[in-house]
Chain A
Amino acid sequence: MAAQVQALPAPAHGEQRGIDTALVGMLLFIASEIMFFAGLFGAYFNIRAEHTVWPPQGFELDLGLAAVLTVILVSSSFTMQYAVSRIRKGDRTGMVRAMTVTVILGVVFLLGQAYDYATLGFGISSGVYGTLFFTMTGFHGAHVLGGVIGMSIVLLRGLSGQFSARHHTAVEAVSLYWHFVDVVWIGLFSTLYLLR
């Protein structure tokens, strides 16, 4: 029919208006992750509300270590954001450097958490407090690990000369994810360590 004149719509990889499709995907993914952690936090507060003594006796946390780890993870968000701002300006070397620092901070956090796990006097099966503590921090740790892997991939791609001021969706995406992981930790730290 004569009216069928409009051209093919832009395919998934074509020119785009607004936010990049991949970033939309990442934001939606983060929304689902927020709900996942909401389930864990909901469980925590639900069970906590049933107890008069909280945490139950005999569960001591290492507040000092956790505070240091918090500082490490929060700083890593800043180095991450610095990496993003460098690549937005087209400075790939700067991005790679800042990303390296971020990866290192993430790994240090994981090592610190492993040390914490090894030295705490209780485990996942020592009553509901232990179950909650290890499940919540454990899932968060798994997300840190995922972030470290993601950042390492971005780092390797950066080292091999990919990314420019215009094309660096992966850097933006991994940074969004990393900030999310960071915010979850702040929530965990406040809930488990400060709000006792």
Chain B
Amino acid sequence: MATTVLAPGATRIYQRSALYEWLTTTDHKKIGILYLTNSFLFFLLAGLLALVIRSELAVPGLQFVNSSTYNQLFTMHGTTMIFLVLMPFLAGLGNYAVPLQIGAADMAFPRINALSFWMLPLGGILMFSGFFFGGAAAEGWTSYSPLAQAKYSGSGTDLWIVALLLIGTSSILGSINFLATIFKLRAPGMTLLRMPIFVWTVMVTSLLILLATPVFTSGVFMLYIDRNFGGAFFDPASGGNPILWQNLFWFFGHPEVYILILPAMGVISEVVPVFSRKPIFGYKAFIFATLLIGGLGFSVWAHHMFTTGAVYLPFFSLMTSLIGVPTGIKFFNWIATMWRGKITFATPMLFALGFLTTFLVGGLDGAILASPPVDYALHDTYWIVAHIHFVFFGGTMFGVFAAAYYWFPKMFGARLDEGLGKVHFVLMLIGTWLTFFPMHLLGLEGMPRRIADYSPAAGWTDLNTIATIGSFVIAISVLPFMWNVFVTLRGPRDAGDDPWDAYTLEWATTSPPPPYNFDHLPPIRSERPLFDLKYGHGARRALPAASLATADEGAH
């Protein structure tokens, strides 16, 4: 064979540093990992803010911060956790997994994909820079007027606004990208009703983002105009209406909570069948429930505004009660999937089980608030804080960690250590319940949310101290996870293509997958193409591993 000699300079152009490669990449897998890393850093940051909040509340009195700083802390904690942690975590998982799961080479618009990502750290830095410009935003993540008006809050709120415009645009562009990818780039044979549930949830979430976020963006623009150009949208003195903001905010805000839970439900629906060695029970019912949640999600927003007296209670109460039904269907599906399955308790499955228990409580917490008389009593108390953390932390974050343990071998070619994983799981589960369960009781006792201090005579001290201890348990539980990632990345990359004996296409390629993902795809005849390949199309359950070698008849 003739050898081709390149000119000495020719290769140099292509030797770019790894850093340059990561900063300029348009590969959906790398962008996905960037998303996840960025979200994790903001998770640590917002977690630190939470520790300060909890330390302040551990006992009565103001020990660490004054009330103005306290307001900034919970505002930045909430906004960051929702917009820079949970949403981008899910977007990152979607970025990594969706193209692989539908057998595509990349996202539909790779460069827009990179743009969507880079708006996030930019937005985050802008928002946090408020701390150095006279104080960060301090009105809570819901930013109600009049508190959010220029009269009461400084440039931190303007930075908050600009950041949320950026982050909102990022998620809108991301959702367009997901939808175009799912509509147009599915591999031959990958019909809509053969897509993994995770892809379905990302699809419905993207629809929610596409239709809800722009309304929020319009509201945030209005707030900016009120604050900076003498506008009067939310100012009753000049003919505006502060309730208008609440309507705009929650028209987005309620779909947002489903934006934040549906993909986590998708993760659980990937993990539970694989570790129960069964197909998901009621695939179509699950998809139907997801679509129903997406639709109903737009008709319940005013349950956040019951106490304003400005909304039609019967309608919104009825719809809010209804939206619990599809979630119930899903619980039925998950439990029936595990029923008589051969369950293995690997870390992804543990986090999935943690999700099922904790999220169930969180959902029920919300379901009873659908009744206006109950909500009148519990609105703006610690009950709400308990509810949102049981669904967000016990739900979405547990889903994110289940996904992290599940897809880590695909991303990096090595499995995270099971022992450390279990330590992480147990500590995190205990921490979650210890922190957030007492908040129910505090809510029932009438402790309002968003206060920096309380009277020793109120009788809230013990429960608050327990919650504070719990928050430090959560903080400690993150350490074994970080250590686990660190040592695993330094160890051998020997996980193989398909360490979990899983069902979906991402496991049909190498770990990590090559650029553009696949050399070959197995035939796609069901929602479990890889399972069909290994065990034969039409088989219901996985065979013991030994029979794998003879499973080639799956070729048809």
**B521 part of interface (Cβ distance < 8 Å):** yes
Binds A, one of B57-65, B236-244, B313-321, B444-452: B236-244
| CB-based contact B239/A9 at 8 Å | no
Select which of A6, A12, A46, A135 is within 8 A of B106 by beta carbon: A12
Binary CB contact string for chain A from 29 to 50 against chain B (1 if under 8 A, 0 otherwise): 1011111111110110011001
Q: Which has the most chain B C-beta neighbours within 10 Å: A8, A12, A32, A50?
A: A32
Give Cα distance in the complex from A125 to B175, angstroms: 35
Smallest Cβ-Cβ distance to B229: which chain A residue: A124
Classify chain A: how many residues form its interface, as a range: 35 or more
Given contacts A3-B555, A24-B180, A24-B184, contact A47 B240 (CB under 8 A): yes
**B110 to chain A: closest residue by CB:** A12
Query: Taking the complex as formed, is A129 at the interface, i.e. its CB lies under 8 A from any CB of chain B?
Result: yes
Minimum CB–CB distance for B259 against chain A, Å: 14
Q: With an 8 A cutoff between CB atoms, is A195 at the interface?
A: no
B233 located at the interface, meaning its Cβ lies under 8 Å from any Cβ of chain A in the complex: yes
Chain B residues closer than 8 Å to A21, beta-carbon distance: 108-109, 180, 184-185
How many Å lie between the Cα of A128 and that of B432 in the bound state? 46
Q: Which residues of A contact B516 (CB under 8 A)?
A: 8, 11
- Number of B residues near A (Cβ < 8 Å) is 63
The answer to whether the Cβ of A165 comes within 8 Å of any Cβ in the partner chain is: no
Select one of A9, A32, A46, A131 contacting B214, CB under 8 A.
A32
| Given A2-B555, A35-B214: A131 in contact with B225 (beta carbons within 8 A) | yes
Contact with A46, one of B244, B519, B533, B552 (Cβ below 8 angstroms):
B244
Q: Which residues of B contact A18 (CB under 8 A)?
A: 184
Chain B 99-118 near chain A by CB (<8 Å), digits 1 or 0: 00001111111101000000
> Contact mask B188-215 → A, CB, 8 Å, 1/0?
1100000000000000000000111111
**In the complex the two chains form, is B179's CB within 8 Å of A28's CB?**
yes
Q: How far, in whole Å, are A38 and B105 apart by their CA atoms in the complex?
A: 36
Could you tell me which residues of chain A, from 100 to 132, have a CB within 8 Å of some CB in chain B? Answer: 124-125, 127-132
Chain B residues with Cβ below 8 Å from A32 are: 172, 175-176, 210-211, 213-214
Contact between chains at B185 and A56 (CB < 8 Å)? no
Q: Are the C-beta atoms of B240 and A24 separated by less than 8 Å?
A: no
Let me know if B211 and A43 touch, CB within 8 A. Answer: no
Instruction: Among A28, A39, A130, A135, point to the contact of B180 (Cβ < 8 A).
Output: A28
- The complex places the Cα of A5 from the Cα of B554 at a distance, in Å, of 12
Q: Smallest distance from the beta carbon of A150 to chain B beta carbons, Å?
A: 15
B104 partner, pick from A2, A9, A16, A42, beta carbons under 8 A: A9
Q: Is the CB of B187 within 8 A of A9?
A: yes
B240 touches A135 (CB 8 A): no
Is chain A's interface secondary structure helix, strand, loop, or mixed overall? helix
B217 touches which of A12, A29, A36 (Cβ 8 Å): A36
Q: Which residues of A contact B212 (CB under 8 A)?
A: 35
A43:B233 contact, CB within 8 angstroms: yes
Report yes or no: A135 in contact with B225, Cβ–Cβ below 8 A: yes
- Whether B500 is near chain A, meaning CB under 8 Å from some CB there, is no
Contact residues in B for A43 (Cβ distance below 8 Å): 218-219, 222, 233, 244, 248
Which residue of the partner chain B has the closest CB to A28?
B176
Whether B518 pairs with A8 at a CB distance below 8 angstroms is yes
Does A187 count as interface, using CB distance less than 8 angstroms?
Answer: no
Contact A5 B185 (CB under 8 A): no
Chain B residues with CB under 8 Å of A56's CB are 239
Are B522's CB and A39's CB within 8 A? no
Interface hub of B172, B516, B523, B533 (most chain A Cβ within 10 A): B172
**A7 touches B (CB below 8 Å):** yes
B298 CB to closest chain A CB, in angstroms? 11
B186, B219, B555: which contacts A39 (Cβ < 8 A)? B219
Which residue of chain A has the shortest Cβ distance to B190 in the bound complex?
A9
Q: Which residues of A contact B (CB under 8 A)?
A: 1-12, 16, 18, 21, 24-25, 28-29, 31-40, 42-43, 46-47, 50-51, 56, 124-125, 127-132, 135, 139
Task: For the complex of A and B, list the 10 residue pairs with the smallest distance between their C-beta atoms, beginning with the closest.
Answer: A125-B230, A39-B218, A3-B555, A128-B239, A36-B214, A35-B214, A4-B520, A131-B231, A39-B215, A128-B232
| Additional 7 contacts, C-beta under 8 A, given A8-B521, A9-B521, A21-B180 | A2-B552, A6-B522, A35-B210, A35-B215, A39-B248, A43-B248, A130-B232
